[in-house]
Chain A
Amino acid sequence: MPVRVVDTATPSSQSSPGQDTNAGHPSPPRCVTWNRLPRSALAGTRGISFAMVWDCFAGTQNVSSLQKDEAWKVNVRIHGCDLEQGYLCGTMEALNVPLADTPVSSDLLGGEIVDAKITHFSLASGKHREVPEDDIRHWSKFPHLHLFWWVSINISVIFMRSPFQKLELKCTNERSSGFTFSSYELQ
């Protein structure tokens, strides 16, 4: 499954989708489950929304600065995405990072999602000194943003505000015969 993962340090320095294509390793044809609103199952039971889950993605992380340009392979696994709360989490493995202690560095990936409707978190919070108009103009540059839901078959871009990250995920499914679904539901 060719996937791209791009990480930029600041909003102003991010690249637009389509750059930095890197091929990753194939992964099983698992994909998105769905999101469901809270509902009561039985008296005394409260369901809360369940998360979408993707399998592994792979790609390259590029870091550009005045001093150096570095790139290393990364594997990203998105564990959960709570659309109601605008929260996404997962794990990221970076392989052979220069100056790292171990060949594989793992870290928890988690943060607030900037979504197309700016429902939950936008950059208009004041933290980043943007004004809403700038914010809308800025985010509307990314036509695939609204495809957030459809990550399984499209190029999708997930923007996260805190910490700022842009995940660009492209999944293809050429060698499989369909998509399967897996889900969990919290109580």
Chain B
Amino acid sequence: MPATASGGARPEEAAVTPSASASVASCMGTRPEELTARLAATGPAPGAGCGGSGAGVGAGGAEAEHERVRALREIKNQIIGNRTKKLLYLRLGAVPAVVAALAEAGASPAALVQAAAAVGSFACGVDDGARAVLAAGAVGHLTRLLTHPDEKVVDASARALRMIYQSRLAPKFDVNNGKNMDFVLSLLNSENENVTELAATIISHSCENSSEQLSLCSAGVPQKLVSLFGGSMNLRDACLDSVTAVIRNNREAASRFASTDRGKGFHSVLGLIHDRSPRTRLLACLCLIALGDASPCHFQDKQIKTKLITVLLELVEEPGDVGDEAPLALTTLIKDSLELQKQALTTNAVEKLSNHLLANSLETRRAVTILLALSELCSKLEESRSQLMSVEVSTLILEALKHDWADIRIAACSCLKNISRSPKVLSGGRLSCDTVIGPLIQLLYDSSTSVQVAALGAICNIAVNLTPRKSLLLHSGVVSQLVHLSKSMDPTLRLKSVWALRNLMFLLCPKDKDFIIKELTLSTLSSLICDSEHFVQEQTLALVHNLVDGYVDSANYVIGEDGMVTDAISRQLNNASSLGVCIQGMFVLANIAAGNESNKEAVMNILLPHRADNIKPSFVVNFLQSKDKQLRVATLWCLLNLIYPKCEASSGRIVRLQNAGVILQVKSMINDPCLDCKLRVRMVLEHCVDNADDCFM
């Protein structure tokens, strides 16, 4: 849960109302430099450090204390909600002086309240402020003040600590430490709502790993948090956020929460999706989504999920953070679920989100989150893709590709990537036009790697264009940039650029294949086959099998004079580094083996090299014994092509395969559980018999 939706730092900051001090300001000077100097000049309170309560402060001391309170109040009033002023005071070094005011044993409650409020404000929304506050040791002082006899001091300290713990820079609170757990529980059990809200904030901020989550569950924290739902709106929101943190990605914690007290907690959260406060509704939805993710068996009710979709779509209309975050929550909810995506479609999600997008500027965070939600809606459903392509939004997506803001460019690429999963779009080549391809290719040169990766995702899919317009993409300059990116230091860029080249190579004519290979070069191809990442190796081998598909001459690319590429493939297959690499490698060999006699012999020499020591069994036998049916199928296809009937030397190859134990292995697969394998096995054995008959005749 982002901090923006976890209790509202800024409104809370503003809750400490600036005091009217105009009369003081008029006579004392209120410029930041003057105030900082005045605060420093007031120095430690008399009696500080001797454990006194300040009762013995004389008249001079009282005046100094009064002066300090006025200075603190003025600083606090100036910085609340004012980022520029905060940064100015930070530069002037005011934070240590303000924190020092908290440390003084003789400080008056009024000074403590003002200092705590100022510290909280410094920590709120400005990382440098939070850093300075933490460095000055504010957390320790504020924590000590939670036991102060004056309730106002406790309130102010709790509020300040809450703001500090809303910063990502705040230290984590290890609840596995018994003392810390006792402390959190004592805060949770406090009568003071500010203090219990602080406890909830600390839990949200600190609860990270599974053991912490389970410790909190064992201590009954989720139930305690649920019991606080009846408090103020801020407390309820903080508690909801905390419950989410405790159960997120933790099956056991989620399961315990959902089943304790006959699901009382679960039903309490469920009730809050109808709350009057939009933020509470959003947080309740997020809590239920986290529960469903962590423990799907406890959240199977389709009606509730449908309700969540409806609530989230309504929340998109809310102003501020809630409306910005609601599309993200919807994205999380429907992610990878065809059923929920269908459900969202029936509630007109695409239309509603599109309308919001059209009504808002692209400059907003909401536009980004809406685009991401639309992208997810198009990830599986053809109808969603059609809807999105048919409305004005498609024009807006193209505009977004050229936007200055990287986040919106990434979101637009994500939409195009998922739209282009459509077989209709691919068959019709609907995205293969200058208006789409031009901006996407520009993004391959983007300064942000994330944008480049996102653009590659869309290009990868659009490259699978099944119309003659494929040449438009091919000759748009994309190939040279993809080749450039395939040499990147970033493995994701290498993977995606090779992937795009593989899809671009799919069913190309010889002339176009030649064009790509000239740009790529066989030497780069060989390096990529032996890349450090096996995902890259796999895609490169898929690229090679598309290269040697269909035309006998194309095999010459890989079995040329120096055999650089075949050597690389042979090395990878002998190493058997990953399943995907082996499958793609075997399809490359199958394609080469479909060629002429010399091609078939080249493959035979990879499968069964003429070695003096014939001790090591061929990898072919291992592949045929693989548990993965795709690898078995690919290997069988390769064998089939090698012993294809009516080829001159097929019988010789069969003998070699028999001697190496390959045919014996194939015979043992006659009842392979995979029907496809079973069929290929029968074909191989039939070909063996046919070849034997031919030789006999």
Residue of A28, A48, A181, A187 touching B551 (CB-CB under 8 A): A28
Known: A80-B427, A90-B427, A178-B593. A149 touches B507 (CB 8 A): no
Known: A183-B546, A185-B502. Contact between A51 and B423, CB under 8 A? yes
A36 within 8 A of B: yes
| Complex: A29 Cα to B634 Cα, angstroms | 17
Asked if A182 meets B641 with Cβ closer than 8 Å, knowing A30-B550, A34-B633, A90-B427, the reply is: no
Check A177 for interface membership: any CB of B closer than 8 A: yes
Query: A164: shortest Cβ distance to chain B, in Å?
Result: 18
Residue of A nearest to B595 (CB): A177
Q: Does B392 contact A (CB under 8 A)?
A: no
B549 near A182: Cβ-Cβ < 8 Å: yes
Residue A66 lies at the interface, judged by CB distance under 8 Å to chain B:
no
By the criterion CB–CB under 8 Å, are B424 and A41 in contact? no
A187 to B416, CA, bound (A): 11
- Are A108 and B550 interface neighbours, CB within 8 A? no
Report the contact-size class of chain B (Cβ under 8 Å from the partner).
35 or more
Task: Select A53's contact among B507, B633, B637, B640, beta carbons within 8 Å.
Answer: B507
Please measure, in the bound complex, the distance between the C-alpha atom of A184 and the C-alpha atom of B499, giving whole angstroms.
9
Closest Cβ of chain A to B482, distance in Å, is: 14
Check B193 for interface membership: any CB of A closer than 8 A.
no
Is there contact, CB below 8 Å, between A91 and B427?
A: yes
Asked if B506 and A36 sit within 8 Å, CB to CB, the answer is no
Q: Does B557 contact A (CB under 8 A)?
A: no
With A30-B549, A53-B507, A178-B640 in contact, is A185–B495 under 8 Å at CB? no
Interface size class on chain A is 35 or more
User: Could you say which of A48, A150, A181, A183 contacts B421, with CB atoms under 8 Å apart?
Assistant: A48
Query: B541-558 toward A: CB 8 Å interface, digit per residue (1/0)?
Result: 010011011110000000
Q: How far does the Cβ of A165 sit from chain B's closest Cβ, in whole Å?
A: 16
A-B contacts, CB under 8 A, total: 124
Q: Does A12 contact B (CB under 8 A)?
A: no
Among A44, A177, A181, A183, the residue within 8 A (CB) of B647 is: A177
Given contacts A48-B421, A177-B594, is CB(A186)–CB(B637) below 8 Å?
no
9-residue interface stretch from B16-24, B64-72, B457-465: B457-465
Within 8 A of B (CB), among A35-57: 36, 41-42, 44-45, 48, 51, 53, 55
Tell me, yes or no, whether A95 is within 8 Å of chain B by CB: no
Interface residues of B in 590-639 (CB under 8 A from A): 590-591, 593-596, 600, 630, 633-634, 637
Determine whether the beta carbon of B466 is less than 8 Å from that of A79: yes
- The interface centre, meaning the residue of A55, A181, A187 with most chain B CB atoms within 10 A of its CB, is A181
A17 within 8 A of B: no
Q: What is the CB-to-nearest-CB distance from A72 to chain B, in angstroms, rounded to a whole number? A: 22
Whether, in the assembled complex, B644 has its beta carbon less than 8 Å from a beta carbon of chain A, the answer is yes
- Please, which residues of chain B bring their CB within 8 A of the CB of A90? 427
Using CB atoms, name the residue of chain B closest to A36: B630
CB pair A184–B502 under 8 Å, yes or no, is yes
A142 CB–B CB distance under 8 Å: no
Q: Which of A29, A80, A149, A180 contacts B466 (CB 8 A)?
A: A80
Q: Would you call B630 and A34 a contact (CB within 8 A)?
A: yes
0 or 1 for each of B518-548: is its CB under 8 Å from A? (1 = yes): 0000000000000000010000001001101
Map CB proximity to B onto A163-187 as digits: 1 under 8 Å, 0 otherwise. Answer: 0000000000000111111111111
B89, CB-defined interface residue at 8 Å: no
A97 close to B (CB within 8 Å): no
The distance from the CB of A122 to the nearest CB of chain B, in whole angstroms, is 18
**Given the complex, which residues of B lie within 8 Å of A187, measured CB to CB?**
417, 457, 460-461, 496, 499
Choose one: A41, A178, A184; the contact of B594 (CB below 8 Å): A178
In the complex, the answer to whether B423 meets A80 with C-beta atoms within 8 Å is yes
Chain B residues lying within 8 Å of A53, measured Cβ to Cβ, are: 506-507
Q: Are B594 and A180 touching (Cβ within 8 A)?
A: yes
B174 at the interface (CB under 8 A from A): no
Q: Does A139 contact B (CB under 8 A)?
A: no
Closest to B538 in A: A41
Contact with B along A4-42 (1 / 0, CB 8 A): 000000000000000000000000111000101000011
| Docked complex Cα distance between A53 and B637 (Å) | 16
- Contact yes or no, B426 A79, CB < 8 A: yes
Q: Is A82 an interface residue (CB 8 A)?
A: yes
B492 within 8 A of partner (CB)? yes
Q: In chain A, what residue has the closest Cβ to B555?
A: A180
Task: Indicate if B88 sits at the interface (CB-CB under 8 A).
Answer: no
Bound CA span A87–B427, Å: 13
Pick the contact of A185: B503, B591, B593, B679 (CB < 8 A).
B503
Residue A124 CB within 8 A of the other chain: no
Pick the most buried of A29, A36, A79, A90: most chain B CB atoms within 10 A of its CB: A79
Instruction: Tell me if A41 and B535 are in contact (CB < 8 A).
Output: yes
Contact A180 B591 (CB under 8 A): yes
- How long is the Cα–Cα vector from A90 to B453 in the complex, in angstroms? 30
- At the interface, yes or no: B675 with Cβ under 8 Å from chain A? yes
Once bound together, how far apart are the Cα atoms of A42 and B457, in whole Å?
Answer: 13
Q: Does B438 contact A (CB under 8 A)?
A: no
Q: With A and B bound together, what is the CA distance between A153 and B682 in angstroms?
A: 13
Q: Is B676 an interface residue (CB 8 A)?
A: yes
Which chain B residue lies CB-closest to A50? B464
Residues in B whose Cβ lies below 8 Å from that of A48 = 421
Q: Which of B464, B551, B587 has the largest count of A CB atoms less than 10 A from its CB?
A: B464
Q: Does A89 contact B (CB under 8 A)?
A: yes
Complex Cα spacing A110 to B423, Å: 9
> Do the beta carbons of A181 and B535 come within 8 Å of each other?
no
Please name all residues of chain A whose beta carbon is closer than 8 Å to the beta carbon of B675 when the two chains form the complex.
149
Residues of B contacting A30 in the complex (Cβ-Cβ under 8 angstroms): 507, 549-550
How far in angstroms is the closest Cβ of chain A from B547?
Answer: 9
- The CA-CA distance from A177 to B649 in the complex, in Å, is 12
B382 within 8 Å of A by Cβ?
yes
For A110, A176, A177, which residue has the most chain B Cβ atoms within 10 angstroms? A177
Residues of chain B within 8 A of A149, CB atoms compared? 675-676
Q: How far is the CA of A41 from the CA of B584 in the complex (A)?
A: 14
Q: Which residues of B contact A28 (CB under 8 A)?
A: 550-551
Q: A45-B495, A110-B424 are in contact. Are A184 and B464 (CB under 8 A)?
A: yes
Measured between beta carbons, the chain A residues less than 8 angstroms from B647 are 177
Contact of B590 among A42, A87, A91, A181 (CB under 8 A): A181
Within 8 A of B (CB), among A56-86: 79-80, 82, 85
Q: Is the CB of A181 within 8 A of B596?
A: no
**Is B594 touching A186 in the complex (CB atoms < 8 A)?**
no
CB distance from A110 to the nearest CB of B (A): 6
CB interface residues, B 352-393, toward A, < 8 Å: 380, 382
B439 at interface, CB cutoff 8 A: no
Interfacial chain B residues near A108, Cβ < 8 Å = 424, 427-428
List residues of B whose CB falls within 8 A of some A CB: 380, 382, 417, 420-421, 423-424, 426-428, 453, 457, 460-461, 463-464, 466, 491-492, 495-496, 499, 502-503, 506-507, 535, 542, 545-546, 548-551, 587, 590-591, 593-596, 600, 630, 633-634, 637, 640-642, 644, 647, 675-676, 679, 683
Q: A177-B641, A180-B549, A187-B457 are in contact. List 5 more A-B contacts (CB 8 A).
A: A41-B495, A55-B550, A176-B644, A183-B542, A187-B499
Residues of A at under 8 Å CB distance from B? 28-30, 34, 36, 41-42, 44-45, 48, 51, 53, 55, 79-80, 82, 85, 87, 89-91, 108, 110, 149-150, 153, 176-187
Q: What are the 7 A-B residue pairs with the smallest beta carbon separation, nearest first?
A: A178-B594, A178-B641, A182-B549, A89-B423, A180-B591, A79-B466, A184-B464
A sample of 9 cross-chain residue pairs with beta-carbon separation below 8 angstroms, ordered by A number, consists of A29-B550, A41-B535, A42-B495, A44-B492, A45-B496, A80-B466, A87-B423, A150-B679, A176-B594
